[in-house]
């Protein structure tokens, strides 16, 4: 019997997909749950998968891989989609796709199946990743298959029960969420109407609103070595653990809550609320250190390439020459992004508290209003003359033409 590897979360959708795959394609179903830091969402998955008809369940932990090889390249590049979204979902998908391909090869599977809908970005991210890594493996997307036939939670529950799967799935409507080490996203309910304010008291998982944050602020110190965070408040730890701790601290102080209307790849606008407390702090700290150590031209180029990389990652093109080239550039300039960043968190705000680096380009003698040996104020006159020469020549020509027209 041929095998299919199913990207399995244990939720209603992917549970209903198991008997559907067996019935529709006659495949043996091997479930694969990818742990990107979902936490307690993984509890009891093996029993649930077996009850639902899967022959096997893999639970693959890629948390450190996700933190070091997907999150950090985006942080270092300053890749933020549409200037707001820190891409917690988009960054995780290529790592998931890579692990699905690995398991499919191990199981000699002929297909990989995912439960992403036909309206979202994830179908693109999963499938482009699989195409890039295993173009010979078939991809099955039930929500785009005319034989799926289920259009509601109740229909899926009824289908499961008809196939002997009676699990405690409810029909209660809640937010559609995606959680991992980096963030948690919320879509649906009142967020589907841009005119309505988010019900934060009902929604938030990782933290509180700034209004509910403590009256006392909190100070942090993050140390970076070649663009990678290596310690938090003097304690050495790996990247994933720094993000975990920053999530707790940032969430406590109402940091990193963003309400976005974004442009999906498939052409529609969608609204979501993202909680990214630790990520928001880490991105800010990294940017503050780069301000100190990178020169003007490099920062300008990096901003352009960071925007380009954000688009590529959001659109599912992680495994592309363009993304790899941008990462190569970013990696090359991280050599001097070493130092210590101090921050203060207060009611949703991240406040600078001092930055130091052995590679700092800030020269107090130059920056001071006091005249120093390295800078002669008279030099500025000649510089301004040459710098402004194109503007002056153009103005002279415009005036010359204006006078000619008056004659």
Which class is 3-162 in CATH?
Answer: alpha beta
CA–CA dist 224, 233 (Å, integer): 12
b/e code 345-366 from CB counts within 10 Å (16+ = b): bbbbebeeeebebeeeeeeeee
Please report, in tens digits, the pLDDT of each residue of the chain (407 residues total): 999 999 999 999 999 999 999 999 999 999 999 999 998 777 789 899 999 999 999 999 999 999 999 999 999 999 999 999 999 999 999 999 999 999 999 999 999 999 999 999 999 999 999 999 999 999 999 999 999 999 888 999 999 999 999 988 876 668 999 999 999 999 999 999 999 999 999 999 999 999 999 999 999 999 999 999 999 999 999 999 999 999 999 999 999 999 999 999 999 999 999 999 999 999 999 999 999 999 999 999 999 999 999 999 999 999 999 999 999 999 999 999 999 999 999 999 999 999 999 999 998 766 666 656 677 888 889 999 999 999 999 999 899 888 878 76
Strands 235-236, 228-232: pairing is antiparallel
Contacts of residue 362, Cβ cutoff 8 Å, sequence gap at least 6: 292
Which class is 176-356 in CATH?
Answer: alpha beta
Residue 174 falls in the annotated catalytic set: no
Catalytic residue among 93, 125, 244, 271: 93
CA separation, residue 151 to residues 142, 146, 293, 399 (Å): 11, 11, 54, 70
Catalytic residue among 48, 122, 125, 323: 122
Catalytic residue among 55, 64, 153, 176: 176
CA–CA dist 286, 291 (Å, integer): 9
Catalytic residue among 13, 178, 323, 357: 13
Residue 394 falls in the annotated catalytic set: no
Q: In what order do the strands lie in the sheet with 176-179?
A: 176-179, 184-187, 269-275, 257-263
Domain spans of the chain, in order of start: 3-162, 176-356
Residue 122 falls in the annotated catalytic set: yes
**Residue 64 CA, distance from chain mean position:** 15
Cβ count near 401 (within 10 Å): 10
| φ, ψ (nearest 5 deg) of residue 326 | -65, -40
pTM for the model stands at 0.93
Residue 201 falls in the annotated catalytic set: no
């Amino acid at each position: 019997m041929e095998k299919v590897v199913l990207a399995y979360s244990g939720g209603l959708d992917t549970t209903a997909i198991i008997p559907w795959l067996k019935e529709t394609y006659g495949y043996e179903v091997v479930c694969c749950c990818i742990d990107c830091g979902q936490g307690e969402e993984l509890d009891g998955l093996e029993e649930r998968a077996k009850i639902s008809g899967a022959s096997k369940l893999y639970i693959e932990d890629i948390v450190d891989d996700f933190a070091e090889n997907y999150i950090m390249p985006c942080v270092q590049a300053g890749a933020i989609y549409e200037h707001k979204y820190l891409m917690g979902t988009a960054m995780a998908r290529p790592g998931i796709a890579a692990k699905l391909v690995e398991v499919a090869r191990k199981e000699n599977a002929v297909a990989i199946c995912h439960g992403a809908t036909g309206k979202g970005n994830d179908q693109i991210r999963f499938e482009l990743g699989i195409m890039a890594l295993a173009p010979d493996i078939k991809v099955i997307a039930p929500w785009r298959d005319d034989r799926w036939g289920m259009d509601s939670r109740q229909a899926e529950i009824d289908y499961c029960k008809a196939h002997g799967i009676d699990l405690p799935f409810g029909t209660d409507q809640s937010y559609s969420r995606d959680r991992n080490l980096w963030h948690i996203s919320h879509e649906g309910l009142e967020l589907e109407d841009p005119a309505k304010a988010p019900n934060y008291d009902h929604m938030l998982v990782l933290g509180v609103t700034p209004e509910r944050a403590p009256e006392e602020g909190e100070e942090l110190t993050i140390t970076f070595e070649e663009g990678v965070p290596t310690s938090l408040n003097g304690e050495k730890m790996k990247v994933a653990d720094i993000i975990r701790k920053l999530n707790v601290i940032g969430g406590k102080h109402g940091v990193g809550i963003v309400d976005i209307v974004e442009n999906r790849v498939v052409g529609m606008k969608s609204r979501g609320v993202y909680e990214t407390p630790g990520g928001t702090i880490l991105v800010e700290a990294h940017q503050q250190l780069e301000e100190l150590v990178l020169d003007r031209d490099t920062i300008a180029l990096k901003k352009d390439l960071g925007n380009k990389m954000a688009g590529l990652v959001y659109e599912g093109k992680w495994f592309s020459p363009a993304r790899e080239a941008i990462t190569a550039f970013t990696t090359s300039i991280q050599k001097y992004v070493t130092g210590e960043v101090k921050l203060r968190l207060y009611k949703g705000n991240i406040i600078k508290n001092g930055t130091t680096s052995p590679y700092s380009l800030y020269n107090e003698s130059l920056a001071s209003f006091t005249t120093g040996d390295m800078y002669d104020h008279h030099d500025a006159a000649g510089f301004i003359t040459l710098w402004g020469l194109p503007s002056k020549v153009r103005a002279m020509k415009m005036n010359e033409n204006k006078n000619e027209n008056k004659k």
